[in-house]
Amino acid sequence: MTRYLLWIYIAVSIANLVAKVIPSEELDQYTKPLLMPLLMIYVYKSSLGNTTARILLLFVALLFSWLGDVVLMYQENETYFMAGIGLFLVAQITYIFVLKKSMYQKPSLDLMKVLPFLIYAGILFYVLLPAGDFTVPIIIYGLVIMIMAIMARTREGNTAQNSYQLALLGSLLFLASDSILAFNAFHTAIPYAGVLIMSTYCGAQLLLVLGILKHAE
């Protein structure tokens, strides 16, 4: 039963992408709110009898992601947009702690592992900023998601290899999704931005969940 949840998640993700292409606001409203609950149920089912602080934090990250998904469905309203960004900020901070707990020992800082993320952040901020009232939120959120991706990168050799690879790819997809969203919102409109944002986002959440669950305590 548990494995079928992943196939249901993938099917709902595809349906949501179809809603972006058609486009169909009704299909989008039916499918998007289902995504994170499906992953939350999967996490619950996969960790029965082995509920640790790491699993609880993963559940919290998905919960705030779900709240962000729902609120950002009304992103035409600036207040809702900022609220959605705030909810995802909490989700990203929680993912940082989840990834930190999904290691065998305290991570060491390797400049060569961190440098590509710092360069990317510098380029992204250079392109997007200034952005008026959104300048500070962009900087804060951008730094937090960079730290999340860096934390995923520093897990190399500090967890099972498949756990490291899946979570790292998930973090990179999350970074790509939010970069596309920010570029589309604050710089230049991108054709089929919704499809690009949701495809990378759905993949990111799935891979992060799978990667974190594959870490053996």
Question: What confidence tens digit (pLDDT) does each residue in 80-120 have?
Answer: 999 999 999 999 999 999 999 999 998 887 888 899 999 99
Dihedral sign for Cα atoms in the order 85, 91, 94, 98? negative
Tell me how crowded residue 10 is: count the other CB atoms within 10 A of its CB.
14
Query: What confidence score (pLDDT) does residue 51 get?
Result: 84
Range of the domain at 190: 2-213
The percent of the chain in helix, strand and coil, each rounded to the nearest 5, is 80, 0, 20
Q: How many domains does the chain have?
A: 1
pLDDT band at 75 (very low <50, low <70, confident <90, very high): confident
Q: What is the mean pLDDT of the chain?
A: 95
Q: How confident is the model at residue 217 (pLDDT cuts 50, 70, 90)?
A: confident
pLDDT(162) > 90? yes
Quick one: what percent of the chain has pLDDT higher than 70? 100
Q: What is the pLDDT of residue 156?
A: 95
Average pLDDT rounded to a whole number, residues 69-86: 90
Query: In what helix (H) or strand (E) does residue 54 lie, and over which residues does it extend?
Result: helix 53-71
For residues 77 and 118, which has the higher predicted lDDT (pLDDT)?
118
pLDDT of 42? 97
pLDDT category of residue 48 using cuts at 50, 70 and 90: confident
If phi > 0 it is left, if psi is from -120 to 50 it is alpha, else beta; for residue 132 that is left
C-alpha separations of 83 from 30, 64, 86, 137, 184 in Å: 21, 11, 5, 11, 18
